[in-house]
Amino acid sequence: MKPARHPRNARTRPAQPAGLAARVIAAEALDAVLRQRAPLDETLERLAARHEEAGPRDRALARAIATVALRRLGTIRLGLKRFLERGLPRNAGLLEAILIGGAAQLLFLDVPDHAAVDLAVRQARADKRAFPYAKLVNAVLRRVAGARAEILAAGEAPRIDTPDWLHRRWVAAYGEAIADAIAAANRHEAAVDISVKDDLPGWAETLGAHILPTGSLRLPQRVPVPDLPGYAEGAWWVQDAAAALPARFIAPKAGERVIDLCAAPGGKTAQLAAAGASVLAVDRSPERLERLAGNMRRLSLAVEALAADALALDVPPADAVLLDAPCSATGTLRRHPDVAWTKREDDIASLAQLQAQLIDKAASLVRPGGRLVYCTCSLEPEEGERQVAAFLDRHRDFTRVPVAAEEIGGLAQFITADGDLRTLPHALPGAEPRLSGLDGFYAARLVRASS
């Protein structure tokens, strides 16, 4: 009789403990976001494809761990620091990500302490560089669990979870109280908002959703969106309430030609097409444009989609151009908490430079008498107010047409002294934090002189 082989030598690997795959994906994602500045959503998709052993529950848990860890990173790092007297060892592989993911579960998720600690220790043991620190992981995370109340109290001030450079900028732009209110809003996951093609009251009733003053619907709880009535038949699409405002300022008449210069995944393209415009949707990324095309198919909206660099676009001028420019996205931290840690302050200046080139190009594509709407989901004035002020200095043939309160549901507080749209994430209070707020957006409407 042959002797039984040791499992380590056998071809079949021993079964993983339940929940380990979720923690492995979460730690690898945190490591990629924090060390390589990789975007969280794409990283999670890539890791889910690589970790075939992870089922849908593992993937959902991995996302929950990584998201809350990035949303509350300041508090978590402060908590870990208490018990890492000598700081983090260098070249320790996934060690920091394992500790952050473990602490996130202990402090913010409904996970039994022993599971969070045990699985973190196993992860450390499985990582060549973190292996020597497995005992440290055990000791530190146990102490975090024991000091939960004090750590949470120490992290009470919301600004702790905002990088200093970003908070400083918001204080300079909006004042201390608003900067703190934005930071507080960013601690909550954003609600799901919906734009409907038509019959707003009917869909509000069917979905049990609130009608916001701006005309978007807000779902009362998080549910798998594709399972909801109306999704498959293309009656509506997911779009933040603030993101739904800028395309309205184009107000296209049926049949007008509109170029959507940075269009994917197509929330604003859908609005323009649903309003009857003949839309050319341009985006540099073929993958993102493919998503746009899929969204338009589901919504039965006909648009022309073109994968191209907007800066090199050679098409006849249109009645209107929408430029939703690539930006730092600091207005979307409720939805994308990774952005706070993947962006650096010097990114703002290089993005502003790109936006200046794009808005000049956009202007050249507007026919005499036509409209140009410029917008970004950034809170930084260089990407909004100052960008448009500089544009108007360069282009004397363009003037601003102020936004009217009636165009945005009467919310005059979202209109700047110059007549532009400026929303901030803490505005639009709802019944509870989960149902409050909207993305931070800036938009200006400009018109070209007739001749």
Using CB under 6 A, list all residues that contact ligand SAM: 262-268, 282-285, 288, 309-311, 324, 326
Give the nearest distance from C-beta 313 to ligand SAM in angstroms. Answer: 8
Closer residue to ligand SAM (CB): 220 or 326: 326
SS3 for 27-71 is HHHHHHHHHHCCCHHHHHHHHHHHCCCCCHHHHHHHHHHHHHHHH
CB contact at 8 A, 239 and 195: yes
Closer residue to ligand SAM (CB): 257 or 336: 336
Indicate the SS3 state at residue 257.
strand
Query: Measured between alpha carbons, how far is residue 173 from residues 176, 335, 358, 385 in Å?
Result: 9, 22, 24, 11
Give the nearest distance from C-beta 95 to ligand SAM in angstroms. Answer: 34
Closer residue to ligand SAM (CB): 41 or 113: 41
Pairwise CA distance, residues 373 & 387, whole Å: 13
Give the nearest distance from C-beta 39 to ligand SAM in angstroms. Answer: 12
Which residue number is nearest to ligand SAM in terms of Cβ?
Answer: 262
CA-based torsion, 40, 45, 50, 54: positive or negative: positive
Specify burial of residue 313 (Cβ count, 10 A radius: 0-12, 13-18, 19+).
middle
377 is catalytic: yes
Give the nearest distance from C-beta 250 to ligand SAM in angstroms. Answer: 12
Closer residue to ligand SAM (CB): 99 or 303: 303
Pairwise CA distance, residues 395 & 360, whole Å: 9
Nearest to 144 by CA among 75, 68, 80: 80
End-to-end CA distance of the chain: 95
State the pairing for strand pair 210-211/217-218. Answer: antiparallel
The first and second tokens of residue 118, run together, are: 């045990």
Point out the catalytic residue in the list 262, 327, 375, 377.
Answer: 377
Closer residue to ligand SAM (CB): 285 or 353: 285
Give the nearest distance from C-beta 52 to ligand SAM in angstroms. Answer: 29
Would you please indicate which residues are annotated as catalytic (active-site) residues? 377
